[in-house]
């Protein structure tokens, strides 16, 4: 089978080597489209692809229409909001992710971001410490749990909200359960967001929630920029000069936010949560193995468009 590795933001060389080795040993042919610049490049590369490995690359209805031989898309990572699931399902294409494989990298970045903001973006101004502060985790899944556990090691207390977990499961994961989103925001000195971008969550975090946060609080977003209602966030930051926002990927209105709020806001220039060699290897190799298993035995574990 012909497998296309299409990564606008390329994997580390070690991950690419591993992906190619797994696929070729199983008898598949690998084509690479890395660091491509335009969606047009992806469209041109897919016509003979039978399998696709991607990261945040956009697999739109148009891409699916241009890939008549495509049978499987594996998003090497967690969030699959970049794949048009409806269009894939209509064509009988299986879409998978590789849950958990890059979680540690994202969790470490979330903690690093908290330190960065606590120390005023490494300017000489007097900062603060994380120890003794309360961290709220919004969604206690693979990433959220790791953030919570690492925060505890730094001496933070951790609470979490997750509608899919029981109180017992949250406690077993090391956090104190909270039962409403308002309570979570109202009690968190640091609030780390780990919800997916879905119709129900897009723009769900805005003025009402952010303005509930305690004095001096920081909102940390290593999830998706789409879950933030940017106007509402700006209104809260305007009214409350004590609040801060740090995010992995710039908000649409970042230039304006920087102008208005200076060091109280920071966005990474490119999404870098999962951008470690280890995460690349974990997620990339898992994706390759899932493709091998799919063609060898029809295994659809991790399918997200069932
Ligand atoms: C994910 O959903 O797994 C992360 O956002 C990582 O995305 P990336 O592979 O584009 O870095």
Domains located in the chain, CATH noted? 2-101+275-297 (3.40.50.720), 103-267 (3.40.50.720)
Looking at the CA of residue 98, tell me the nearest atom of ligand 1: 3
DSSP conformational letter for 60: -
Rounded to whole angstroms, the Cα distance separating 239 from 246 reads 17
261 Cβ contact list (under 8 Å, min separation 6) = 237, 245
Among candidates 125, 129, 137, 303, which has minimal Cα distance to 220?
137
Residue 306's pLDDT band (cuts 50, 70, 90): confident
pLDDT at 189: 98
DSSP conformational letter for 96: E
167-218 per-position pLDDT tens digit: 999 999 999 999 999 999 999 999 999 999 999 999 999 999 999 999 999 9
Q: Does residue 75 have its Cβ closer than 6 Å to ligand 1?
A: no
Rounded to whole angstroms, the Cα distance separating 243 from 209 reads 12
Mean pLDDT score, 243-249: 97
DSSP strands (E only) in 83-210: 94-97, 134-138, 157-161, 176-177, 190-193
CB 62 within 8 A of CB 43: yes
CA distances from 27 to 21, 68, 240 (A): 10, 21, 59
Burial class (CB in 10 A: 0-12, 13-18, 19+), 255: exposed
Residue 271 has pLDDT above 90, yes or no: yes
Helix/strand/coil for 118: helix
Pocket test for ligand 1, best of 55, 57, 225, 249 (most atoms within 8 A of CB): 55
185 Cβ contact list (under 8 Å, min separation 6) = 136, 191, 209, 210, 212, 213
Rounded to whole angstroms, the Cα distance separating 264 from 299 reads 47
- For residue 132, the CA-to-ligand 1 centroid distance in Å is 31
Q: Taking the model in full, what pTM does it have?
A: 0.96
Looking at the CA of residue 248, tell me the nearest atom of ligand 1: 5
Pocket test for ligand 1, best of 8, 15, 56, 280 (most atoms within 8 A of CB): 56
What's the angle, vertex CA 37, arms to CA 69 and CA 86, rounded to 5?
40
- For residue 77, the CA-to-ligand 1 centroid distance in Å is 5
Q: Does residue 78 have its Cβ closer than 6 Å to ligand 1?
A: yes
The full length of the chain comes to 306
DSSP string over 260-283: HHGGGEEE-SS--TT-SHHHHHHH
Mean pLDDT score, 206-231: 98
pLDDT at 17: 98
Q: What is the mean pLDDT of the chain?
A: 98
Identify the helix (H) or strand (E) that includes residue 16: helix 13-25
Edge-to-edge, what's the strand order for the sheet holding 2-7? Answer: 29-34, 2-7, 51-54, 72-75, 94-97
Rounded to whole angstroms, the Cα distance separating 161 from 157 reads 14
CB 101 within 8 A of CB 55: no
Q: Does residue 280 have its Cβ closer than 6 Å to ligand 1?
A: no
Nearest C-alpha to atom 11 of ligand 1 is from which residue? 274
Nearest C-alpha to atom 2 of ligand 1 is from which residue? 79
Residue 114 has pLDDT above 90, yes or no: yes
- For residue 237, the CA-to-ligand 1 centroid distance in Å is 27
pLDDT at 296: 98
Rounded to whole angstroms, the Cα distance separating 34 from 223 reads 24
Mean pLDDT score, 128-149: 98
Pocket test for ligand 1, best of 271, 276, 287 (most atoms within 8 A of CB): 271
- The encoded tokens of residue 179 equal 């039962």
Q: Does residue 9 have its Cβ closer than 6 Å to ligand 1?
A: yes
What's the angle, vertex CA 150, arms to CA 303 and CA 206, rounded to 5?
70
Mean pLDDT score, 110-137: 98
Helix/strand/coil for 54: strand
Q: Does residue 274 have its Cβ closer than 6 Å to ligand 1?
A: yes
Pocket test for ligand 1, best of 102, 109, 144 (most atoms within 8 A of CB): 102
């Amino acid at each position: 089978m012909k497998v296309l590795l299409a990564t606008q933001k390329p994997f580390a060389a070690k991950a690419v080597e591993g992906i190619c080795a797994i696929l070729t040993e199983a008898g598949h042919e690998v084509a690479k489209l890395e660091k491509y610049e335009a969606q047009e490049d992806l469209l041109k590369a897919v016509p003979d692809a039978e399998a696709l490995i991607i990261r945040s690359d956009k697999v739109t209805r148009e891409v699916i229409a241009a890939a008549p031989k495509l049978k499987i898309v594996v998003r090497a990572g967690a969030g699959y909001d970049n794949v048009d699931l409806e269009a894939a399902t209509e064509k009988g294409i299986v879409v998978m992710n590789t849950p958990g494989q890059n979680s540690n990298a994202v969790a470490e970045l979330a903690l690093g971001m908290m330190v960065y903001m606590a120390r005023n973006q490494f300017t000489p101004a007097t900062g603060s410490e994380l120890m003794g502060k309360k961290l709220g985790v919004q969604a206690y899944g693979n990433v959220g749990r790791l953030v919570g556990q690492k925060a505890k090691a730094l001496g933070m207390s951790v609470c979490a909200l997750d509608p899919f977990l029981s109180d017992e499961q949250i406690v077993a994961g090391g956090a104190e359960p909270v039962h409403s989103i308002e309570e979570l925001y109202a009690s968190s000195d640091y609030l780390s967001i780990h919800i997916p971008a879905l119709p129900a969550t897009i723009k769900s975090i805005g003025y009402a929630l952010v303005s509930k946060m305690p004095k001096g609080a920081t909102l940390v977003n290593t999830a998706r920029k789409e879950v933030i209602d940017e106007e509402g966030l700006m209104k809260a930051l305007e009214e409350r000069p004590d609040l801060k926002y740090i995010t992995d990927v710039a908000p649409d209105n970042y230039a304006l936010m920087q102008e208005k709020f200076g060091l109280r806001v920071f966005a990474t220039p490119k999404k870098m949560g999962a951008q470690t060699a280890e995460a690349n290897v974990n997620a990339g190799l898992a994706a390759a193995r899932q493709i091998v298993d799919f063609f060898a035995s029809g295994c659809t574990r991790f399918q997200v468009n069932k």
